[in-house]
Structure 1
Amino acid sequence: MNITAVVPVYNHGGPVGGVVRALRAQGLPVLLVDDGSERGCAAVLDALSAADAEVRLLRLAVNQGKGGAMIAGLNEAHRVGFTHALQIDADGQHDVVDLPRFLAEAETFPDHFICGCPVYDASVPKGRLYGRYATHIWVWINTLSFEVKDSMCGFRVYPLAPTVARLERTRIGRRMDFDVEIAVRLVWDGVRVRNVPTRVRYPEDGVSHFRALRDNVLISWMHTRLFFGMLSRLPLLLWRKVAA
């Protein structure tokens, strides 16, 4: 397994340095994807990549959204020869202490999609917490399974060959709908899932780019598209359940 961390960054100049240091302390090469950040954050990313040869920087001239940044990063990681990519947010909400568990799962199950399953502390906004359950239900319906415990967690490991193959065939959501849609489509493609509990916190000074109206509309439309996609795959999904 040849793995790199892919970190999408949009104006997270404050916490991203700590995330990179934590990843490098675990021996992981890092690919930072600058999703059109403002100058101050861009300068921080330049400094991080200049200070360490194992920290590479991919810069997008125009903001693409989290999904667009991840798609660019996954494609680049695959292009340069990595077999797996660890996705982690730049805002510090994911606990890098749990990273060895993700890497161990990926080593043991290299063909699987390793998906974080959040364990929240008191910092989680209750509206965000309750809203996730609607998405969980739709994902369970659209996959006809409980394989993905939490499709919205941005701490995960992708096997790059099937993931990039899917990205080449389908236009996946470019914003906050990406994490959910790629998880559902990997299950449709027959990629098995391993769920890893991981601690998640919401820093008081954290920068969130979730836009309630825009992103909820995108997510609702995504669930609608996936539902009809599930209907067209219903015989295959049912056959897999029987065969299992």
Structure 2
Amino acid sequence: MNQFCIVIPNYNHTHAIATVILELNALKLPIIMVDDGSCDDAKQVFASLQQQYDDLTVLTHTENQGKGGAVQTGLLYAHEHGFSHAIQVDADGQHSLDDIAKLIDLSNNEPNNVISGCPIYDSSVPKHRYLSRYITHFWVWVETLSFDIVDSMCGFRVYPLTAVKQLMAKQALGKRMDFDIEILVRLYWQGVKVTFLPTQVIYPENGVSHFRALHDNLGISWLHTRLFFGMLLRSPLLIWRKVVG
């Protein structure tokens, strides 16, 4: 029997988090929110929510590590506490939480797969963010020698935690905006398949983005460089896997 929980990385996101937690609470699933070194005002909001909801656990980083670091903390905590799968959800209200039931159904049918949202954007998406995704899509197709990963940047996913733990035990993963891309590619190299669910993604009008245009784009570029050479080393296995199906 699969045991699901929800993992939310949060760095100073307060404008939508009460609504997000309220909607998630209706699912009756344990919620693990990782405070990634937020300011004191945000911590007060998180503490109030933790008092309000019995199923909410707040973990705290004393210093900001980045989105990827916060997610990794949540995933390891979930694995250590006996959960088989963790559902990653953003704190800013971007994701269509009504689709979590569909993600869970897909995960129950394919428990060894990562189940990932495949974004359907409306007019709220910044054009530069939309276009930059396609650059990453191209490189991920090169790094996996396949078109199997339709989208590698959506942070709305179900992770099979045994596979994640195995990966994290042997490979240090990026702790910032490179994390979502890297973990999907490396799990794919590990033999984990990815199933995609089309889902609506919005950029809230009052939302706060922690994407750092220069630093995070440089980090993602360096990630693709490493993954490209990692692909070259693994290319015989990847090609063989495609041949035998």
TM-score w.r.t. the length of structure 2 is: 0.98
- How many correspondences in the alignment? 244
Percent identity at matched positions? 52
- CA shift for structure 1 position 148: 1.3
Distance 1:116 1:229 in 2: 25
- Which SS does the other structure have where 2:18 is aligned? helix
Corresponding position of 2:222: 221
Whether contact under 8 Å (2:6, 2:31) holds in the other structure is yes
Distance 2:72 2:50 in 1: 20
Residue 4 of structure 1 corresponds to 5
RMSD: 0.7
Gaps of 5+ in 1: none
Residue matched to 1:154: 155
Provide the C-alpha distance between the structure 1 equivalents of 2:11 and 2:179, rounded to a whole number of angstroms. Answer: 16
**SS of residue matched to 1:233:** helix
- 1:80 equivalent to 2:67? Answer no
1:114 aligned onto 2:115: yes
Q: What letter corresponds to residue 225 of structure 1 in structure 2?
A: R
Q: CA deviation at 1:158?
A: 0.2
Aligned residue in 1 for 2:20: 19
Q: Distance in 1 between matches of 2:41 and 2:220?
A: 31
1:177 is matched with 178
Letter of the 1:234 counterpart: S
User: Matched residue of 2:102: which SS?
Assistant: helix
Q: Counterparts of 1:192 and 1:168 in 2: how far apart (Å)? A: 19
Structure 2: gaps spanning 5 or more residues: none
Contact kept in structure 1, 2:6 and 2:29, CA below 8 Å: yes
CA contact (8 A) 2:15 2:207 kept: no
Structure-1 residue corresponding to 2:240 = 239
Asked if the contact 1:30/1:55 (under 8 Å) is kept, the reply is yes
Counterpart position of 2:191: 190
TM-score, with structure 1 as normaliser: 0.99
* Equivalent position of 2:47 in the other structure: 46
Q: Secondary structure at the match of 1:114?
A: strand
Does structure 2 retain, via aligned residues, the 8 Å contact 1:3–1:83? Answer: yes
